[in-house]
Structure 1
Amino acid sequence: MPVDALLLSIPPVLVYLLVGGVIGIESLGIPLPGEVMLVGAALLSSRHDLAVDPAGVAAAAIIGAVIGDSIGYSIGRRFGMPLFDRLGQRFPRHFGPGHIAYAEGLFARWGTSAVFFGRFIALLRILAGPLAGALKMHYPRFLVANVTGAICWAGGTTALVYYAGMAAEHWLSRFSWVALLIAVLGGVIGTIALRGRVGTRIAELEAQHRLEREPVSE
C-alpha cells in the first residue's frame, strides 16, 4: 500500500489517542518516545489532505502530559525515594543513582520551575512527576507548573512543527541542499552537545555514589 494511502486510512482519533497515551505513559515515569510521537503527529497535521487537526494533537499531548505527571506524582508520594532505588536496580540506564541525583539537584535549585522546564528535557520529562511526589512537593504548586509546562511544550512544539511542515516546500525551493544540510547538522550537533554535558554530569554523580558506598579500609 502506498504511504499516502496508508496515511489517509488512519483515523484522526487514533492519532490523538496514541499521542496522549504515549506521552501520558512517558510522564508516568516509563521511558517512551513521547516527543517523537508529538513531532510525528504534528507533521501529519501540517498536511492538508489529512484530517489530523493540530489543535487536536496539542490538546491530546497536554491532557496526556498532565494526567501522566499527576499519576506519577501520586506514585512517587506513595512510595517515596525507595521507589527509585528499586527502579535503579532494574533500569540503571534511566533510573541510576546519577540520574536521580542530577534530577534532585535541579529540583533543589529550581523548585517547581524544574517541573515546568522539565517538560522540555527528556530526563526530567520522565522523572518530574514521580520525583516531585517523592520529595513531597506541594501538589497545587506542582499542578500549576505541570499544566503550564505541558501547554507551553505541547502547544509550542505542535505549532513549530506544523508551520515548519507547511513551509518546508517553500524552504527547499529557495535554499540549496547544502544550506539545508548545514542547518540540520547544526541542530543535531547542538542537541548532542547538550546531551553530552548532561551525560558527563550524570557519570560524575554515578562515580561519586559508588565511592560513597565503598567500604573505607582501615
Structure 2
Amino acid sequence: MHIQEWLETVPAIAVYLLVGGVIGLESLGIPLPGEIVLVSATLLAATQDHINPYVLAACAIAGAIIGDSIGYLIGRKGGKPLLEWLGRKFPKHFGPHHVATAERSFQKWGMWAVFVGRFIALLRIFAGPLAGVLKMPYWKFLIANVLGGIVWAGGTVAVIYSVGKVAEEWLKKFSWLGLLAAVLFGLGSLVVMRIKAKKAEAARAADPSEARPEPVGTAD
C-alpha cells in the first residue's frame, strides 16, 4: 500500500504525530523517509479537508527542530565512537565515505551546512549528530536549525499544498473539458457526415448517369 493511501485510513491526529515523529527521528540521525512522509501527508491535506495544512506544517517544523537538537546533544556526548557505531548499523548512510563528505561540508560551510543540509537527504540525517561531534557552538547550531526547519518543512508544505490544490482543480476542469470535447467531437463528426452526404446527393442529381448502373452486356 502506498504511504498516501495508508495515511487516508488513519485519523488526522495520527497523521500529525506520524509526520512530526518520522521527521524528528530522521533529524536525530535515524535513516527514515521523512520527506516522502511529509509530501504524502501534504498531498492528502490538499485533497482531504480533515487535515489542516497549518497544523501539519507546525508538526513537521517541531519534529525537525527537536530531532536535530537531540541529535546534536547525542553527538556532543557520543563523539567519534557514535559515528563509528552508526556506520556499523547503517553502512549505506553512515559509511566512512559519507562521514568524510559530511565533515568536509561542515568544516567548509559551518552554520550553512546545518541550514542547507535540511534540504539534502544525506546531510539532513547527519546535521544534528555531526554538528555535536564537531563541537559546533550550540547557539550557532540552534539558529541554523530553527531557520532550516522552518524554511524546509514550512516551505515544503506550502509549495506541495498549493500545487496539490491547483492540480485538483485542473483535474476537475479537465473532466468537464474532456466531456465537452467528446460532445463537440461527436456533433462535429455528425455535421461533417451530413455535409458529405448532401454533396454526394447533389452530385448524383447533377449527373443522372452516375445513379444508373451501366449494362454489363447485351442479349443475343
TM-score normalised per structure 2: 0.73
RMSD value over aligned CA atoms? Answer: 2.1
Shift in alpha-carbon separation, 1:59–1:126, aligned structure 2, 3 A:
same
Alignment correspondent of 2:214: none
Spell out, residue by residue over 1:49-74, the C-alpha distance to the aligned partner (whole angstroms, 9 max, x if none): x3101101110000001110010000
Shift in alpha-carbon separation, 1:105–1:8, aligned structure 2, 3 A:
closer
> Per the alignment, in what secondary structure is the counterpart of residue 47 of structure 2?
coil
Aligned pairs for 1:1-218 (under 5 A) are: 10-48=10-48, 50-171=49-170
Shift in alpha-carbon separation, 1:52–1:136, aligned structure 2, 3 A:
same
Amino acid at match of 1:117: V
Give the drift of 1:90. 2.8
> Per the alignment, in what secondary structure is the counterpart of residue 30 of structure 1?
coil
Give the drift of 1:86. 2.0
Give the drift of 1:97. 0.4
Spell out, residue by residue over 1:76-132, the C-alpha distance to the aligned partner (whole angstroms, 9 max, x if none): 000111211122123211110000000001101110110001000000110000000
Give the drift of 1:19. 0.3
Amino acid at match of 2:23: I
Amino acid at match of 1:87: L
CA distance in 2, matches of 1:153, 1:99: 22
TM-score normalised per structure 1: 0.73
Give the drift of 1:170. 4.5
Amino acid at match of 1:34: G
CA distance in 2, matches of 1:7, 1:33: 14
Amino acid at match of 2:149: A
CA distance in 2, matches of 1:86, 1:165: 41
Judge which range, 126-135 or 163-172, deviates more. 163-172
Gaps of 5+ in 2: 175-220
> Per the alignment, in what secondary structure is the counterpart of residue 46 of structure 1?
helix
Q: What is the total number of aligned residue pairs between the two structures?
A: 171
Structure 1 ranges of 4+ moved more than 4 A = 5-9, 170-175
CA distance in 1, matches of 2:13, 2:92: 34
CA distance in 2, matches of 1:65, 1:114: 15
**Structure 2 contact 53–157 (Cα < 8 Å) conserved:** yes
